[in-house]
Amino acid sequence: MAITLPIYMDHLATTPVAPEVFEAMRPYFCERFGNPASRSHPFGWVAEEAVEQARAQVAHLLGCKAAEIVWTSGATESNNLAIKGVAAAYREKGRHLITSRIEHHAVLDTCKRLEQEGCQVTYLPVDRTGRVDPGDVERAIRKETILISIMAANNEIGTLQPIVEIGRIAKRHGVLFHTDAAQYVGKLPLSVDDWQVDLLSASAHKCYGPKGVGALYVRMTKPRVKLVPQMDGGGHEKGRRSGTINVPGCVGFGAACALAERELQTEPARLLALRERLRNDLWSKLDYLHLNGHPTDRLPGNLNVSFGFVEGESLLMALKGIAVSSGSACTSATLEPSYVLLALGLNAELAHASIRFGFGRSNTEEEVDYVSARVIESVARLRALSPLYDMALEGIDVKGTQRSLHAC
Ligand SMILES: *Cc1c(COP(=O)(O)O)cnc(C)c1O
């Protein structure tokens, strides 16, 4: 099969809307345009039925009741609603929260905001693979702890957190547990009961649905989670999130979840094979490579590599025609090295030299082979210009770079 450029290998930043998802959404723009809050005529009923069917589809994928799903504008809003909503509702109980240093900005900046308002937040460190130690979570719990928020899968390095263990600890101590699962939902199977999570954030555009739609799962029984709404208005979503529902968006998210559920049988294994194909090829032909994230407990579609003696930005330029991201997709407008990579203990050089490959439905073996060849050739060319690389080959220790590369 011929390859067409550009190649999209950045599926952790966003995904295209799947054709069947788009077809499911289509009627809800021009013909079935009703407002689900209109209770007095069929235009509203038709829209409401579609939104409720979509809610059931999202709930089915997460293993919860439809009534436990709150529609939002995306995982950013879901995280804000979960964390600020719980902080406000449980103020009497306490003002302490626990999270990790490698959360998405939507969690970290929300926590920082709460700190300004008098909350205390513990930011747990991660090990070299990006994992939070459940023992650290347990030790951080205080009498006044109201929420633990730990992401299911990291967007940069793909590392999966020990959610089941953390869920068990949270339950044992009677502390609410939220997880940002924007990168996990639709990519690997999950159940909110197995995880013992009380709140879970999801985003449609990370799993072949449209942008601008998300969901927050809020446990209704054992315990019944209380939330103070963060958007005031007409009292939609049982008062949990006001604002007219994005009907086509929700229909699309529902369809994307139904599609993901079918694809969960085969797609994770296919993406894993593509990732390992690229990894094996790179490691067999290049030296001074550093795998960022956990070697096995990671999203099947994520490969994050630091190329020693190469600048990530130069490599990105050399890879014109291939859409990947360097450092962090969200912070790559700045030249700050990724805080996630720094939290793993990488030095700034290696953090700058990182590329994230994000595999998804459109990617093929042919594309992987093409990308691999281009990366190998570009890295070799850039290193040929690097005096540091020559010195390293001659066995001269270059600012400890070699050691840190070999340590992993
Ligand atoms: C993309 C992402 C978000 C933000 O989701 P939006 O729907 O784009 O607001 C939050 N958390 C993680 C882990 C993500 O990957």
Assess whether 128 and 179 both reside in one domain. Answer: yes
Assess whether 43 and 186 both reside in one domain. Answer: yes
Amino acid at 299: L
pLDDT at 406: 34
Assess whether 224 and 321 both reside in one domain. Answer: no
| Average pLDDT over all residues of the chain | 94
- Cα–Cα distance, 327 to 314 (Å, whole number): 12
The least confident of 151-160, 184-193, 323-332 is 323-332
Percentage of residues in the chain having pLDDT higher than 70: 95
The tokens describing 14, both together, are: 């966003």
Assess whether 237 and 290 both reside in one domain. Answer: no
Assess whether 243 and 287 both reside in one domain. Answer: no
Backbone angles phi, psi at 407, to 5 degrees: -60, -25
Q: Is 37 assigned a ligand-binding role in the annotation?
A: no
Ligand 1 mean position, distance from CA 284 (Å) = 34
Assess whether 214 and 81 both reside in one domain. Answer: yes
Reported pTM:
0.95
Given 263, 281, 302, the domain boundary residue is 263
Burial of 247-268, coded b for 16+ CB within 10 Å and e otherwise, reads bbbbbbbbbbbbbbeebbeebb
Assess whether 365 and 391 both reside in one domain. Answer: yes
- Cα–Cα distance, 215 to 204 (Å, whole number): 8
Q: Find the residues whose C-beta lies inside 6 A of ligand 1.
A: 74-76, 104, 106, 151, 155, 180, 182-183, 203, 205-206, 214
Residue 300 lies in a domain: yes
Residue 216 pairs in a beta bridge with 70, 201
Residue 346 lies in a domain: yes
Assess whether 270 and 251 both reside in one domain. Answer: no
Residue 1 lies in a domain: no
Residue 2 lies in a domain: no
Ligand 1 atom 1: the closest Cα is on which residue?
Answer: 182
Work out the average pLDDT over 336-356. 94
- Cα–Cα distance, 152 to 168 (Å, whole number): 15
Ligand 1: atom nearest CA of 154 is 13
Taking only the tens place, the pLDDT of each residue in 148-187 is 999 999 999 999 999 999 999 999 999 999 999 999 999 9
Position 209 confidence tier, pLDDT thresholds 50, 70, 90: very high
Q: Please say if the pLDDT value at position 193 is more than 90.
A: yes
Q: Which of 10, 99, 150, 183 to mutate to test the pocket of ligand 1 (most atoms within 8 A of CB)?
A: 183
Assess whether 256 and 375 both reside in one domain. Answer: no
- Residues annotated catalytic, as ranges: 330
Assess whether 79 and 48 both reside in one domain. Answer: yes
Residue 233 lies in a domain: yes
Q: Is 364 assigned a ligand-binding role in the annotation?
A: no
Ligand 1 mean position, distance from CA 387 (Å) = 40
Residue 351 pairs in a beta bridge with none
Q: Is 352 assigned a ligand-binding role in the annotation?
A: no
Q: Please say if the pLDDT value at position 403 is more than 80.
A: no
- What CATH number is given to the structural domain containing 363? 3.90.1150.10
Ligand 1 mean position, distance from CA 43 (Å) = 32
Work out the average pLDDT over 219-227. 97
Ligand 1 atom 10: the closest Cα is on which residue?
Answer: 75
Q: Please say if the pLDDT value at position 333 is more than 70.
A: no
Q: Is 363 assigned a ligand-binding role in the annotation?
A: no
Ligand 1 atom 2: the closest Cα is on which residue?
Answer: 182
Residue 271 lies in a domain: yes
CA distances from 77 to 8, 227, 250, 305 (A): 27, 14, 15, 30
Assess whether 196 and 233 both reside in one domain. Answer: yes
Given 238, 263, 288, the domain boundary residue is 263
Residue 69 lies in a domain: yes
Residue 51 lies in a domain: yes
pLDDT at 400: 52
Given 218, 239, 263, the domain boundary residue is 263
For residue 337, give its domain range.
7-14+266-404
pLDDT at 336: 82
Ligand 1 mean position, distance from CA 76 (Å) = 6
Ligand 1 mean position, distance from CA 104 (Å) = 7
Burial of 198-226, coded b for 16+ CB within 10 Å and e otherwise, reads bbbbbbbbbbbbbbebbbbbbbeeeeebe
Alpha helices in 286-338 (DSSP H): 312-318
**Domains held by the chain: number:** 2
CA distances from 341 to 129, 151, 345 (A): 10, 16, 7
Q: Is 204 assigned a ligand-binding role in the annotation?
A: yes
Assess whether 144 and 95 both reside in one domain. Answer: yes
Helix (H) or strand (E) holding 226: none
- What CATH number is given to the structural domain containing 230? 3.40.640.10
